[in-house]
Amino acid sequence: MSRSPGRLAACAVLALALAACSGQPAEEEDPTAEAAEVADLLAEQLSDHTLDGVPLVDFASQEDFAELVEPLDDQQVVVEAGEVEAEGATARAPLAWTWEIAGQEWAYETTANLTEVEGAWLVDWRPGTLAAGLRPQDRLGLFSTTGERGRILGAGRQPIVVDREVRRYGLDKTRVGGARQTTDSARRIARGLGIEVAPYVDEVRRSGDEAFVEALVLRPEDARELVPGDFGDIPGSAAVVDTLPLAPTREFAAPILGRVGEATAEVVESSDGEIEAGDVVGLSGLQLRYDEQLRSIDGAEVVAAGSSDERRELFVARATDGEDLRTTLDLDAQRAAERVLADGVPADVPSALVALRPSDGAVLAAASGPGSEGFSTATEGRYAPGSTMKVVTALALLRSGLTPQDTVACPPGIDVDGRTFTNYDDYPAAGLGDVTLTRALADSCNTAFIGAGVERLGGRDLAEAAAALGLGEDADVGFTSFFGEVPQPEGATDEAASMIGQGRVLASPLAMAAVAASVAAGERVVPSLVPEVEAEATDPAEPLTAAEARSLRTMMRTVVTDGSGSVLAGLPGEVGAKTGTAEYGEAGGDGDLPTHAWMIATRGDLAVAVFVETGTSGSVTAGPLVERFLSAVR
């Protein structure tokens, strides 16, 4: 049996009118109390974004309200009814609305009108009950607003990562006709831009008919090189101009700064609702580690528009810009370091150059060459430091009682527990025999450091000397880094190899730059890239003394003036250095092992480490790179 809407409103919906419907005499009740119950029901349902179950003068209002409020369906709202004022057959109920829009509160009041019909109170719903000034022809809109992502700044607060122009290349499906042409265009775009064809074609097929399906995002200067000249001839191809937070160049400190892009599904899932699909977030490097600081907080705008399409602003939740992140990177030094590696090292060989300021540990440059393929060789590489380790061994020997002028033996070879250690192939014959410790360091005599070390050092002597110079002690310095390992030797041959930076001793270019910086500063230097982060580093058991540092500086100076670092002798200022070569891997056809090439150097308030994964030697391969860098930054 069907019932009319009026009958439903008066009888089925409202228990308040039960007596009138049944024909039984009703007890006389306070009309204001009955209207208040309806107002409370209205507020409760509005808090759920609906008018279902609310007695209405016109039930068509349910559908009108649902359509009007639809843009705000995902926004939380609490509606509370105030004290109802009734006069005769009409009543007014104040409604207090509190929305949460983009994390901000939108609070206001409206008034709901109620009418008594056949003994029952009904809500006379109008758009103005939702928000003052709304008209029947109005529609609501909710628009997101975004703030600026925080910048990454370099030394002197120079901007490094800022919004820079990019081009988004892809397929505009509104400009192609039919599935066959769409697929053909997708294939041509993928091939032309050098991306995988099948995944891009699948993405195009899954997207909507009016979608722009992005294939590749490029800087304008990169686009000139990577986008084929006939790209625009492909039906539906398009290039959309946009901006992204980027460094000055694609290569500039890229492994350290990291990337920014749309949040992946994994990032969204792990964010506990804080990040949504499409949000721009840090994906690696500093951008990832400090994403919470750098990321802006989106805002929103609630508007009303009528038939004239003229928007009227109802509420604005202001977007919040991200906070800038300061670093110590010197833009000129970083550019110089990257230029030196790009020009001086084969493109397929990993390499790095790190420059520190000894007085405060500031990382001025941390460049990884093209051969590193996006890995931060500069700060995370793990390599045998070779003869640059002799600076550490020299400190341990000084602590054992030797002085720089004391004599040590430098034979052509030395046997340790059945293994023979020799000097490098072109070791100067004049450097053999009994030589001073300073001469042994200048010529980089392996046998002298092994013989003296095995005789005079033991236990943790080498590890403690390394710690005093910043090597082998882990520290959280606010960015991903490796400070080396100097493990307890496992037998005599392992101990001998450790003296000359081989065996199980490992270091990064950052760690060896810290060794040089510590010698220059006269105390252990902990590298600092993000000044606001206070490094968590364990103090060395036996700190470096001023006298020890002076001796090491004198010895490293001799390396330049009269030793293996003579490539730096023409530079102005008092330059100290130490070369390093370390065998690794498997022997080639000639029976020789490939070698790492190292050099560390100091000049005034600057310490540098250069590393090339495969080179001839520290003096031949790494030395000229140090010379070019120091010449560029003087």
> What would the 3-class secondary structure string for 582-603 be?
EECCCCCCCCCCCEEEEEEEEE
| Cβ within 8 Å of residue 196, ≥6 positions away | 190
Q: Per-residue confidence at 29, pLDDT binned at 50, 70, 90?
A: low
What pLDDT, in 10s, does the model give residues 550-600? 999 999 999 999 999 999 999 999 999 999 999 998 877 777 889 999 999
Residue 260 is encoded by which pair of tokens?
A: 């920014």
What percent of the chain is predicted at pLDDT more than 90? Answer: 83
Q: Per-residue confidence at 622, pLDDT binned at 50, 70, 90?
A: very high
The whole-number pLDDT of residue 47 equals 97
* DSSP conformation class of 540: P
Mean predicted confidence (pLDDT) in 458-474: 94
Domains of the chain: total: 3
* DSSP conformation class of 359: T
Both 13 and 117 in one domain: the answer is: yes
* DSSP conformation class of 619: I
In a domain, 260, yes or no: no
> What would the 3-class secondary structure string for 265-328 be?
HHHHHHCCCCCCCCCEEECCHHHHHCHHHHCCECEEEEEEECCCCCEEEEEEECCECCCCEECC
Say if CB 188 and CB 228 are below 8 A apart: no
Closest CA to 462 of 511, 400, 390, 396: 396
DSSP lists the bridge partners of residue 577 as 601
Q: Per-residue confidence at 309, pLDDT binned at 50, 70, 90?
A: low
Both 127 and 176 in one domain: the answer is: no
Mean predicted confidence (pLDDT) in 412-425: 94
What pLDDT, in 10s, does the model give residues 494-552? 999 999 999 999 999 999 999 999 999 999 999 999 999 988 888 999 999 999 999 99
Mean pLDDT of the chain: 92
Judge whether residue 116 has pLDDT over 60. Answer: yes
Angle between helices 461-468 and 390-399 (to 10 degrees): 110
Both 130 and 180 in one domain: the answer is: no
Both 26 and 168 in one domain: the answer is: no
Instruction: Give the helix/strand (H/E) hosting 631.
Output: helix 623-633
Give the Cα separation of 83 and 81 in Å (integer): 7
Judge whether residue 351 has pLDDT over 90. Answer: yes
- Which single residue is written with the structure tokens 């039960």? 18
Rg of the Cα trace of the chain? 37
Give the Cα separation of 89 and 432 in Å (integer): 115
In a domain, 633, yes or no: no
Report the relative pairing of strands 575-583 and 595-603 from DSSP bridges.
antiparallel
Both 402 and 431 in one domain: the answer is: yes
Helix ranges (DSSP H) in 79-210: 178-193, 197-206
Phi, psi of 333 (to 5 degrees): -65, -40
Both 558 and 459 in one domain: the answer is: yes
The whole-number pLDDT of residue 28 equals 53
Both 450 and 388 in one domain: the answer is: yes
Give the Cα separation of 576 and 572 in Å (integer): 11
- In this structure, the number of other CB atoms found within 10 A of the CB of residue 202 comes to 12
Say if CB 231 and CB 169 are below 8 A apart: yes
What pLDDT, in 10s, does the model give residues 201-248? 999 999 999 999 999 999 999 999 999 999 999 999 999 999 988 899
- Which single residue is written with the structure tokens 């080179």? 615
Mean predicted confidence (pLDDT) in 158-168: 93
Can you give the residue range of the structural domain that contains 539? 376-574
Say if CB 354 and CB 378 are below 8 A apart: yes
In a domain, 313, yes or no: no
In a domain, 613, yes or no: no
Give the Cα separation of 247 and 264 in Å (integer): 22
Q: Per-residue confidence at 20, pLDDT binned at 50, 70, 90?
A: very low
Both 394 and 526 in one domain: the answer is: yes
Angle between helices 446-456 and 390-399 (to 10 degrees): 40
Judge whether residue 368 has pLDDT over 80. Answer: yes
In a domain, 492, yes or no: yes
Q: What's 107's domain CATH number?
A: 3.10.450
